[in-house]
Amino acid sequence: MRGLVNETRAKAQAHLMPHFTKGAAWRDDKLLVMERGEGCYVFDNEGTKYLDGLSGLFCTNLGHGRTDLSAAALKQMDTLAFYPTWGFANEPATAAATMIAEEAPGDLDEVFFVSSGSEAVESAMKFARNYHLSQGDDQRYKVIARDWAYHGTTLGALAATGIPKFREPFEPMLWDGARHVRNTHGDVVPDGAPASELESVKAIEAMIIAEGPETVAAVFAEPVQNGRGALVPPQGYWQELRRICDTYGVLLVADEVINSFGRLGHFFGSLRYDVVPDMITFAKGVTSAYQPLGGVVIRKPLVEAVWDSPMGAYVHGSTFGGHRSRVRHHPGDADRRRVRTCAPLRGSSESRAREPRRTAQLCPGSPRHRLLLRNRVHARSCERHRHLRGGCCSVTERSAPRIPPRRSTARASR
Ligand SMILES: Cc1ncc(COP(=O)(O)O)c(C=O)c1O
């Protein structure tokens, strides 16, 4: 057994190229080889058990080892593994799109599938440009994002990413349409002042004006920005972003690649901050990473405006977008109910009694899961646990504002 363990490690070190990993770490003879998972735990191939504090990479919201999910994919592969969504519909992609549209806020009713978060971000960038072009607005190509925000690594998404160490090696960028403004870190308004007085809000409006509103296509922001340490927005911030974008005809994009599917105690982080953006990007938790899937949910009137325009189409696509075996992994009805009960769990003894343990496992952003995580990490703060990093769940806990009551009218309110 020991020999096999070392053999896999040695072969990985010889042939498998890691992502974002220094050579010295990869060559280390303590390199972990992960083997299997169960709920919120993973095991390496020497049998050591770890609490997966980061849910993979903000991914496995439904927990590890769900054989019902793998069975669904297997069944789909046996029926018809692949057929493109270029001009053809299919049942699994339609069911997944319907589920996502039903959970998304307001009139975000159109779902475009891709294969990763970076692709989702690029698809939103291109849709923004495509939409403005279809309306005869041919100057609007720039996007505004925030300092230290992570929006992905492919060259389009990287242009929006604001983390210097990821950007700088690749500058000048292939595409120079992205601008960055200050994020919400440390930003507070003096007592009683409105959110429009926030420096982080003023910076966005100032950038739009400086660049020329007629050149700006979209503003990209995460509801809770992960880069720079889980930045919870000040009260009213998202409402101000919505107001500014409406004022200047700019589309508002919530990048929810890690904020959605229960991470913030709601299906979408935008629901938590009570805002209806024009687009929401998602990935990761959408399938709990049982398959690679990403996408964009778009407000229906925007899609219809494109279809009804002389352009007639969103000129974008990828072979694996809406891949049948991948979209089979979206949460089923039971999981949807569990994700929805995350928010009430905080105060509701009734829902706590209904879903006592499993919710903690299912929803990494839920209060029960955060508590579980904190207790376990503190209790076992051994060297091996530290390997797996603390995870956003424990980081967001202290600064998260009271969860607003989930509005059953969220979709109708627009
Ligand atoms: C907010 C955000 N956007 C985009 C991405 C890129 O996703 P992917 O790594 O699937 O390309 C990430 C990845 O963590 C992310 O956190």
Spatial CB neighbours of 351, under 8 Å, sequence gap ≥ 6: 341, 344, 345
Residue minimizing CA distance to atom 2 of ligand 1: 151
**Residue ranges making up the domain that contains 1:** 1-44
Residue minimizing CA distance to atom 3 of ligand 1: 151
Cα of 47 vs centre of ligand 1, distance in Å, is 30
Whether 177 and 211 share a structural domain: yes
385 lies in a domain? Answer: no
Which of 123, 150, 264 is the pocket-test mutation for ligand 1 (most atoms within 8 Å of CB)? 150
Whether 141 and 13 share a structural domain: no
294 lies in a domain? Answer: yes
Give the distance from CA 166 to its chain's centroid: 19
Whether 159 and 94 share a structural domain: yes
Whether 300 and 209 share a structural domain: yes
Query: Residue 288 phi/psi, 5° resolution?
Result: 55, 25
Cα of 150 vs centre of ligand 1, distance in Å, is 7
396 lies in a domain? Answer: no
Domain count, the chain: 2
266 lies in a domain? Answer: yes
The predicted pLDDT at position 335 comes to 76
Whether 324 and 255 share a structural domain: yes
Which neighbouring-strand residues pair with 111? 297
Number of neighbours of residue 280 by Cβ within 10 angstroms? 31
d(CA 111, CA 321): 11
54 lies in a domain? Answer: no
The predicted pLDDT at position 322 comes to 79
Cα of 62 vs centre of ligand 1, distance in Å, is 18
Domain's final residue, options 318, 333, 348: 333
Whether 137 and 211 have beta carbons less than 8 Å apart is answered as: no
Whether 102 and 181 share a structural domain: yes
Which of 258, 259, 263, 392 is the pocket-test mutation for ligand 1 (most atoms within 8 Å of CB)? 258
What residues line ligand 1, using a CB cutoff of 6 Å? 116-118, 121, 150-152, 222, 226, 255, 257-258, 283
Whether 318 and 206 share a structural domain: yes
Cα of 365 vs centre of ligand 1, distance in Å, is 17
- Per residue in 39-59, pLDDT tens? 999 999 999 999 999 999 999
Cα of 260 vs centre of ligand 1, distance in Å, is 12
The predicted pLDDT at position 408 comes to 39
Which neighbouring-strand residues pair with 144? 179, 219
Query: At how many degrees (to 10) do helices 237-248 and 199-211 cross?
Result: 20
Residue type, 222: E
Domain's final residue, options 317, 333, 349: 333
Q: Please list the alpha-helical segments (H only) found in 328-388.
A: 333-340, 342-345, 349-354, 358-362, 367-379, 383-386
Which neighbouring-strand residues pair with 219? 144, 252
Cα of 152 vs centre of ligand 1, distance in Å, is 5
Domain's final residue, options 280, 300, 333: 333
Whether 1 and 102 share a structural domain: no
Q: Please list the alpha-helical segments (H only) found in 300-346.
A: 300-307, 324-327, 333-340, 342-345
| Closest ligand 1 atom, residue 259 Cα | 1
| Closest ligand 1 atom, residue 116 Cα | 10
Which tokens in the block code for residue 393?
């769940």
d(CA 257, CA 61): 12
Cα of 4 vs centre of ligand 1, distance in Å, is 33
Which of 61, 118, 264, 280 is the pocket-test mutation for ligand 1 (most atoms within 8 Å of CB)? 118
Domain of 114: which CATH number? 3.40.640.10
Tens digit of each residue's pLDDT, the chain (414 residues): 566 668 999 999 999 999 999 999 999 999 999 999 999 999 999 999 999 999 999 999 999 999 999 999 899 999 999 999 999 999 999 999 999 999 999 999 999 999 999 999 999 999 999 999 999 999 999 999 999 999 999 999 999 999 999 999 999 999 999 999 999 999 998 888 999 999 999 999 999 999 999 999 999 999 999 999 999 999 999 999 999 999 999 999 999 999 999 999 999 999 999 999 999 999 999 999 999 999 999 999 999 999 999 999 999 999 988 787 777 766 667 777 766 655 432 322 333 333 333 333 344 444 444 444 444 443 333 233 333 332 223 222 223 333 333 333 344 333
24 lies in a domain? Answer: yes
> Which residue's structure tokens are 């879903």?
355
The predicted pLDDT at position 343 comes to 40
Query: Residue 103 phi/psi, 5° resolution?
Result: -90, -20
- Per residue in 208-257, pLDDT tens? 999 999 999 999 999 999 999 999 999 999 999 999 999 999 999 999 99
Cα of 284 vs centre of ligand 1, distance in Å, is 8
